[in-house]
Amino acid sequence: MSPLPMLPRAVIAAAVVFGLALSSAAVAARTATGPAARAWLSDLVTRIDAADRAGTRPGPSRGRGTVVVHVQIAADGAVQGAEIEESSGSAKLDQRALRAVQGISPAPAPPAALLGVDGIVDLSIPVALGH
């Protein structure tokens, strides 16, 4: 796996950890932000970025913006649901972010400590597109 670019993914990973701390699994997440959880979240961000790049053509027509996507991931890594939590203001970018998040399924299984009592990880992920 290639190293993450310096700023965008690092910022996104930090925002994912922050979003996780605010999610419905907040108690578990606060105690589970150890190395395994951070590695899994970082991998998730990398996969979302790769899914976006695979699904779009390079160039200025891709657009730029950040979309916050609420995603539910099951214990087996399957994306159970994804919806726009905060729009970028562009329907095209919002749909692109949803496709990228849905495109990671199945993701690697999340660490057990991140799972809620329902066996699902709830995340709010800021997806930076075209940055």
Tell me the two tokens of residue 29.
């997440």
Closest residue by Cα to residue 5 from 33, 42, 38: 42
pLDDT at 62: 67
The pLDDT tens digits for 58-111 are 665 667 899 999 999 999 999 999 999 999 999 999 999 999 999 999 999 999
**Does residue 117 form part of some domain?**
yes
**Does residue 2 form part of some domain?**
no
pLDDT at 29: 45
Rounded to whole angstroms, the Cα distance separating 21 from 17 reads 6
The pTM assigned to this predicted structure is: 0.72
pLDDT at residue 22 is higher than 50: no
Range of the domain at 103: 8-129
pLDDT at 79: 96
Number of domains in the chain: 1
Can you give the CATH number for the domain in which 57 is found?
3.30.1150
pLDDT at 64: 86
**Does residue 3 form part of some domain?**
no
| Inter-residue contact 74 to 123 (CB < 8 Å) | no
Rounded to whole angstroms, the Cα distance separating 51 from 29 reads 25
